[in-house]
Amino acid sequence: MRTKLLFTITAFASVLSGCSKFSLNTKVDTYETPATIATDRATLFSFANAFYVDIPNGFTELDSNFFDAASDDGQQTAKYSTNAQLFNEGALNPSNIDIPAGEGFYKNMYDGIQAANFFLGYSQNAAAFLIQNRDTVDDVVNYTRDKLFIGWYRGEAHIARAFYYAELIRRYGGVAIVDSTLQHTDSMYIHRSSYDQVVSYIVSEIDKYADSLQVNWATSGYSDQLGRFTKGAALALKARVLLEAASPLHNAGNDLTKWQAAAAAANDVISMNLYALDASYAHYFTGNNATTSPETIFAKYMPASNQQEETNYPIETPGGHSGVTPTQNLVDQYEYIAAADPDNPYANRDPRLAATVVVNGSTWNGRTIDESPGGTDDMAKANTSRTGYYLRKFLTDNLNLTQGGTAAHQWIIFRYAEILLNYAEAMNEAYGPDANNNYTLTARQALQMVRDRASTALPPITATSQGDFRLAIQHERRVELAFENFRYWDLLRWQQAQSVLSAPVQGVAVTKNANGTTFSYQVTNVSTRVFPAAMYYFPFYQGEITNSKGALQQNPGY
Amino acid sequence: MKNRLTNIIILFVLLLAGGTTMAQDSVITIRDSRGADSALETAPLLTLPRRLSTASISVVGGDDLYKTPTTNTANTLIGRLPGLYAKQSTDEPLGVPAMVSATNMTIRGLGSYGFVGNNAFNTFRVYVDGWESTLNYFTTIPAEDIESVSILKDAAALAVFGMKGDNGVLWVTTKKGHAGRPRVQVGARAGVQQVLNVDKPLGSYDYARLYNEAVSNDNGDTWTPAYSTAQLQAYKNGTGTNVDWYDQGLKHSAFYNNDNVSFSGGNNSAKYYLNLDYLDQQGLFNIRNTDSTSNEKLQRYNLTSNLDLDISKIFSANISLRGMVENQKTPNYNTSTLWNNMAAYPSNIYPVMQDSGKWSGTALYPNNPIASQNALGWTSTQYRILQGNFTLKEKLDVLLPGLYASESYSFYSYASTTYSKTANYARYFDSAVRTTDQAIPLKAQPQTPAGQEDLKQARLTVGYDHSWNTSRLSTAVDYYGSNYLGDGFLYYATTYQNLSGRINYAWLDKYIGELGFSYFGSDAYAPGHRWGFYPALSAAWIVSKERFLADNKTIDLLKLRLSAGKSGGMNDNVTQSGRYLFQQYYQTSALSGGNFYMNNPPTAGSILAPLYTANPDVFAEKSMKYNIGVDLGLLHKLDLSLDAFLDKRSSILTQDHSIPDYYGYNLEYNNVGKVTNKGFELMGTWTDKIGGFSYSLNGMLSYSRNKIDYMAETPPPYSYNALTGRPIGTPIGLIALGYYQLNDFNADGSLKQGEPVPQFGAVQPGDIKYKDLNGDGKIDGTDVTSIGRSPFPTWVYSLGGTLGYKGFDLSAFFDGALGGDVNLLSAAPIQTESLVNNGNAFAMAKNAWAYYPQEGIDTRATATYPRLSTTANTNNYQYSTYWMKSTDFLRLHNLELGYTTCLKRGATSTVRFYVNAINLATWSTLLKHDQLDPETLGGYPAVKSYNAGITLSF
């Protein structure tokens, strides 16, 4: 009896406890795991794409629009709830920097840096990866290509990381250099490096890895890789970073060797003899033109959209929102190429004006813009431009927004004209306007190339002194690079922000003359601007300071 | 419908008149909180008399639950159990899966902020007859099948639940057969249900009048009416379009019917309980049931059987089986959107139908509520549940007197399928088609599966009960395994194992000590980190058995209880993070969500990025629970029970926002959160007789208040912005200071110097003014702080009484909650944001701020609503103290009159007739001032119902 009973119970017990149903080793993975990616070499390429995602899109940087609304070139039309106000009113502080253009941007840059660090770690044994599950003899073509790709991609990861740091130091000054993937331990609290330390880090990375990059995707046989970094992009980055580092904001003692290094770096790009100015300034910025133009060194490629048109078309165009508009301050910079027309202040101007700005009386979106009282775009109407101007650069004309019409847009990050202007500026500071230091160009020649492409009718540059020539270059940068997110940062690095960004921005009031065909224009102040000295650098977000547990020190003045 | 009700009442009256009255004691049963010797503790593993229990457990009997006729059994628990916060939820005739939102019910308030919601981490677990189940399953159990429902609250009661115990347990026991002659019980009840509360929008006249104000306000405070005086006049005298969508779309009342017949009995070797239950609930919509249209409705069949078999001296067995079939039908339009449209569509937009007989509809208001009900066809869903439990028990006295063992197995299977007939209609207005919709005649759609679940559980128990001299020992250890298979989503499989036990020792029947424990393993954690040990110690002292109280006439029971122990909370379903947090996953999108385009034309490249940083140490949330309780019985009439508790949570799984952003990863989940929750429960019952009257009064009061001690929140700019240090769910927003007045502005419309400038858009007189907390001259997101109390009330209370005389019984039951606030902007946006973005106007906005002296409008001094606007006035509709309202309420939940009589003089066959009313009256400031019910603010509401029924026993 007892035996029988014990037997029965033991049997039950063993059935229950032995039941594999209740094993805790369940496996339910709906995402890729280390095991699945370790056996799939395609994952290498996906990780190599990931570190590009955070390359900033200048079309949407501030209030989902151009960052130039922060500068004296642009004015945000919306009066409330805009982040541009924080810049215009000089109100940035550690608690309100929590905006996409501030803390959001900072976080994105570090996400990009992490993605690059991750790829560099992950692809260390790429060679073993690439022969996995593959017959290297039968599949030799693809195998060879994959090996080449990984070589380039590893170089690109270094450049991407350098690029992200360049964007960070421009805003914050020195930041924490994270050069490998972090573990969540006490050692992750990395201290801020100085601005110069980060600059040397960027330069050393470029010097080490620029030569491992593809030179020209278009002619490499792998044109489907267009949009990735190239050697030219790496050198252009170096030229830009060194120019900023040599500028007064970061070069208090005006150390000429810094200018010389910047000039040499720009010359390295020029002497690649790979890039040239596009034939047409007016066409270069719209559609897919930038992807094929010899002027483009690096651009962020994007699918067709109407986001830019929707935000910046005049409010009276169905679907438009007026968005960021050019100011009178900018319009004044465009030179006359012939005698001024007393009836039309916009006639006979540098053609880049018409390519950049929609002025009263010009044709835009299928109509003649009439901003006078009673006109189609009467400035008294709600949400019309506050400056009397609308943006034209980058926008495709006549998209039907209400029916969802789209156009191609590429955000150009490095182009040859900028390199020429960087070169001119650095050469002028290092050697004066007319010395070539055994390079191919003088500062004056480089500047003239940019001006000639715009119009050969532009008045000649007569400045001979270094100081006068500096002004000519600063003027040219403003006109040539308008709305490409240079102006605000140029004013900072030239230390002109406090004077220029504290003056009101201006626009025009338009009235129709009694003759019914001509207009008169009254310059008006559109909004006051304030720029406190502290804002030469962004404040770190207070939460970031707190979370860094003392590793980050707040910038002075906040 | 009305005829049906009349018939029922007539039938009821006839039966009542024809019945033979017989003198008999009141049938009112009062539940005995001190526990007669026959009353057993409702807790796992041991079969203990309740007096020997050291735990804090509240119990309610199935007969009390039966008093609330509903398709949602969870709604019957409201106010019945001290320590349970149960919010009235919708009475929509929905199927099984959608019945209860987890946050509507909590035990002892909130102890943790982790994963509140459908995949709730922060909800109690439900066990039916000792097997883990779900709240959704519980909602479908017919009340007459329920013997009792308990909530297990303290460490002593939860000791054996391990990682399932931290939020408490709802412990359900169903009925079993008893030896004796066969008994048959027939229950039939029917009733009508009405909308508990609906905040009807204003009619066309008031809408148009307010719209004129709103448009004028938007036009720079210049009187520019959109509706002419003639139009207003037409609305007023009834010649203009004025559709009351609720009136058109709802029935006055909907029918409810529930019938059951049960058989029970047996002898010493076999006992049985069988029940067949049928339930039919019609929805509140005014839709005829035809081939092409269907009201929302639910039909449910339950068949329960429970068999106890004594096979031999050693072996006995229990088999219980429950099958449920549910058919739910609904018009082919999302019913909560439909309910919203009835509120959001103004009365004057169009008549229900055009003169041509076509359905009205415009591009702006495309979904004519009446057409949505009648012209789109219907969907039918079948839900099927089969639950089977098998237990084999051995009395092993042959080995050792008092020793026993049992082996049990349980399976649960759920499946559902849907079937529909669809149609569409063209929207007409002014004899033109206004949208791209085309008339499509009714068409049958193929049947499709709509989900399945499978749960298998097994256990093996060995126990030993022994008494000697003055000691009594009850012990048991239990091995338990559970395996769940779901729809094939993240929740596809979970398993856990639990080795638990209890040792209860009583000396002299007055000093009781207990040790309970659980050694619990979950598949949610990494190998080596899967198991946790959860001990609990408790004691009780029955003071009234001591000599100095034994002869006391006043105090007939005094018992003290004390417990302390540890529980855990297992995260078995974190939807956003992949199934296992210890496992590194990679997602196919970047952290910032962007893309990378290459080639010409640009093409998106594939992307991989780490999902969350794997946390190999991830483990269950911890809870340390302390409880002290007193049970007091006085004069054999009054029973009182008081429990006070402290619950210290730690290791709450939290996405760690204390990591700097230069970390660059998707922030990981760490066991870092901490919450303190404390409170008490008091319940009392008074039972007495005066002459021929017997009566009882009972009441309960529960209080709980929590505080987030740490939650790794992103450090906010100012300490007053933080959630940390405040109760869970504390609303954060701006502090409203009233309205801007005319003298706050300069002549050009700008704010005067010194007035802080709101950053949400231009303000004008009548807009809400806020406090500039940081004094920077701007009102923005850094000026936010706590603007009220958490939506979870701190106090829950109920009061009830019964009165019996001869065969009659009368009972009333009130319940309520105090200490919670609701944010109207999130809970009832349609009713709150009048006229905004083509919205409707509600009574709340009737006295909006407006100043048009020429029109005779001036509410500057008396306004109870900010200035109206037809545009999205973001300044006024910021989360702020302005829109926070108290949800304190008192409800007459249940009122019942019954009469019991014998069918034949002297026989044991009885019949009881009764009428009752549910949710008859509500007292609440929210209801009074803002026309909103404090518990169901939006969507398909709860119901008020009137029922009549018969219970026949023989």
SS3 content of chain B, % helix, strand, coil (to 5): 15, 45, 40
B15 has pLDDT over 50: no
Report the alpha-carbon distance of residue B544 to residue B540 in Å, rounded.
Answer: 12
Q: How many residues are recorded in chain B?
A: 954
Residue B123: predicted pLDDT: 79
Task: State which H helix or E strand residue B265 sits in.
Answer: strand B254-266
Nearest Cα to Cα of residue A161 among A184, A185, A180: A180
- Residues of chain B positioned with their CB less than 8 A from the CB of A408: 601-602
Report the alpha-carbon distance of residue B115 to residue A70 in Å, rounded.
Answer: 41
Q: How confident is the model at residue A474 (pLDDT cuts 50, 70, 90)?
A: very high
B28 has pLDDT over 60: no
Residue that has been written with the tokens 């090996």 in this structure: A147
Nearest Cα to Cα of residue B176 among B357, B278, B308, B55: B308
Task: State which H helix or E strand residue A42 sits in.
Answer: helix A42-50
Among the ranges A192-206, A377-391, B12-26, B940-954, which has the highest mean pLDDT value? A192-206
B561 has pLDDT over 70: yes
- Compute the CA torsion angle A410, A413, A415, A420 (nearest 10 deg): 150
Contact: A184, B662; criterion CB under 8 Å:
no
Segment among A278-292, A526-540, B109-123 with least mean pLDDT: B109-123
Q: Which of B489, B592, B600 sits opposite A291 (nearest CB)?
A: B600
Q: Which burial class, exposed, middle or buried, applies to B550 when counting CB atoms under 10 A from its CB (0-12, 13-18, 19+)?
A: exposed
Residue B29: predicted pLDDT: 31
Q: How confident is the model at residue B267 (pLDDT cuts 50, 70, 90)?
A: very high
Residue A19: predicted pLDDT: 56
Read off φ and ψ for residue A276, nearest 5 degrees.
-150, 160
> Which whole number is the average pLDDT over A535-550?
93
B7 has pLDDT over 70: no
Between B38 and B147, the more confident residue is B147
B951 has pLDDT over 70: yes
Residue B20: predicted pLDDT: 33
Report the alpha-carbon distance of residue B732 to residue B880 in Å, rounded.
Answer: 8
> Which whole number is the average pLDDT over A356-374?
95
Residue B4: predicted pLDDT: 52
Strand, helix or coil for residue B465: strand
Q: Which of A22, A115, A546 sits opposite B609 (nearest CB)?
A: A115
Report the alpha-carbon distance of residue B917 to residue B920 in Å, rounded.
Answer: 6
Helices A42-50 and A105-122: crossing angle in degrees, nearest 10, is: 150
Proportion of chain A above pLDDT 90, given as a percent:
82
Per DSSP, the residues of B35-54 read --TT-B--SSS---BGGG--
Per DSSP, the residues of B629-678 read EEEEEETTTEEEEEEEEEEEEEEEEEE-TTS-GGG-SPPPEEEEEEEEEE
- Residues of chain B positioned with their CB less than 8 A from the CB of A28: 490, 492-493, 579-580
Which residues does B829 contact at the CB level (< 8 Å), separation at least 6?
none
Q: In terms of DSSP bridges, do strands B377-395 and B403-424 run parallel, antiparallel, or are they unpaired?
A: antiparallel
Half-sphere exposure of A97 (CA within 13 A, CB side): 24
B660 interfacial to chain A (CB closer than 8 Å): yes
Nearest Cα to Cα of residue B473 among B541, B401, B543: B401
- pLDDT tens per residue, range A99-144: 999 999 999 999 999 999 999 999 998 888 898 888 888 889 999 9
Task: State which H helix or E strand residue B443 sits in.
Answer: strand B440-468
Nearest Cα to Cα of residue B34 among B626, B502, B543: B543
Report the alpha-carbon distance of residue B697 to residue B801 in Å, rounded.
Answer: 4
A303 interfacial to chain B (CB closer than 8 Å): yes
Strand, helix or coil for residue B56: coil
Report the alpha-carbon distance of residue B546 to residue B374 in Å, rounded.
Answer: 72
Q: How confident is the model at residue B11 (pLDDT cuts 50, 70, 90)?
A: very low
**Beta-ladder partners of B636:** none
Which residues does B366 contact at the CB level (< 8 Å), separation at least 6?
B427, B434, B435, B437
| Residues in B 489-518 with any Cβ partner in A closer than 8 A | 489-490, 492-497
Task: State which H helix or E strand residue B101 sits in.
Answer: none
- Under a CB-based contact definition with an 8 Å cutoff, are residues B386 and B410 in contact? no
Report the alpha-carbon distance of residue B410 to residue B423 in Å, rounded.
Answer: 44
Contact: A542, B584; criterion CB under 8 Å:
no
Residue type, B524: A
Residue type, A389: Y
Task: Tell which of B661, B772, B784 to mutate to test the A interface (max A CBs under 10 Å).
Answer: B661
- Under a CB-based contact definition with an 8 Å cutoff, are residues B848 and B865 in contact? yes
pTM over 0.90, yes/no: no
Q: Which of A52, A114, A300 sits opposite B665 (nearest CB)?
A: A114
- pLDDT tens per residue, range B879-918: 999 999 999 999 999 999 999 998 876 667 899 999 999 9
- Under a CB-based contact definition with an 8 Å cutoff, are residues A148 and A160 in contact? no
Nearest Cα to Cα of residue B725 among B675, B778, B779: B675
Report the alpha-carbon distance of residue A78 to residue A52 in Å, rounded.
Answer: 32
Read off φ and ψ for residue A52, nearest 5 degrees.
-90, -20
Read off φ and ψ for residue A511, nearest 5 degrees.
-130, 150
The answer, yes or no, to whether the previous bond of B601 is cis (omega within 30 of 0) is yes
- Compute the CA torsion angle A271, A273, A274, A280 (nearest 10 deg): 110
Residue type, A340: A
Q: How far are the Cα atoms of B774, B778, B866 from residue B784, in angstroms, in the given order?
A: 9, 12, 20
> Which whole number is the average pLDDT over B783-790?
94
- Summary mean pLDDT of chain B: 89
- pLDDT tens per residue, range B833-854: 999 888 999 999 999 999 999 9
Residue A183: predicted pLDDT: 82
Segment among A174-188, A258-272, A406-420, A423-437 with least mean pLDDT: A174-188
Q: Which of A37, A228, A543 sits opposite B598 (nearest CB)?
A: A228
Report the alpha-carbon distance of residue B639 to residue B632 in Å, rounded.
Answer: 6
Q: Where are the alpha helices (DSSP H) in B179-310?
A: 204-218, 229-237, 245-249
CB pairs under 8 A between A and B: 245
- Compute the CA torsion angle B344, B350, B354, B360 (nearest 10 deg): -30
- Under a CB-based contact definition with an 8 Å cutoff, are residues A417 and A453 in contact? yes
Residue A10: predicted pLDDT: 64
**Beta-ladder partners of B331:** B378
- Under a CB-based contact definition with an 8 Å cutoff, are residues B86 and B77 in contact? yes
B596 interfacial to chain A (CB closer than 8 Å): yes
Which DSSP category does B74 fall into? Answer: G
Nearest CA in chain A to B590: A50
Distance from the A413 Cα atom to the nearest Cα atom in chain B, whole angstroms: 15
Residue type, B557: L
> Which whole number is the average pLDDT over A450-464?
95
Report the alpha-carbon distance of residue B671 to residue A422 in Å, rounded.
Answer: 52
Which DSSP category does B596 fall into? Answer: -
- Under a CB-based contact definition with an 8 Å cutoff, are residues B701 and B82 in contact? yes
- Residues of chain A positioned with their CB less than 8 A from the CB of B482: 22
Q: How confident is the model at residue A17 (pLDDT cuts 50, 70, 90)?
A: low
| Residues in A 156-185 with any Cβ partner in B closer than 8 A | 175-176, 178, 181-182, 184
Residue B601: predicted pLDDT: 87
- pLDDT tens per residue, range B372-397: 999 999 999 999 999 999 999 999 99
Residue that has been written with the tokens 């018939």 in this structure: B7
Strand, helix or coil for residue B794: coil
Which residues does A7 contact at the CB level (< 8 Å), separation at least 6?
none
SS3 content of chain A, % helix, strand, coil (to 5): 45, 10, 45
- pLDDT tens per residue, range B46-95: 999 998 999 999 999 998 999 888 888 888 899 999 999 988 888 888 87
Proportion of chain B above pLDDT 90, given as a percent:
72
Proportion of chain A above pLDDT 70, given as a percent:
96
Contact: A115, B590; criterion CB under 8 Å:
yes
Per DSSP, the residues of B351-377 read -SB-TTSPBB--SSS---HHHHHHSSE
> Which whole number is the average pLDDT over B518-524?
93
B490 has pLDDT over 50: no
The answer, yes or no, to whether the previous bond of B660 is cis (omega within 30 of 0) is no
B34 has pLDDT over 50: no
Report the alpha-carbon distance of residue A125 to residue A120 in Å, rounded.
Answer: 10
Q: Which burial class, exposed, middle or buried, applies to B147 when counting CB atoms under 10 A from its CB (0-12, 13-18, 19+)?
A: middle
Which pair of tokens denotes residue B529? Answer: 């980190």
Segment among B98-112, B737-751, B935-949 with least mean pLDDT: B98-112
Between A139 and B17, the more confident residue is A139
B576 has pLDDT over 80: no
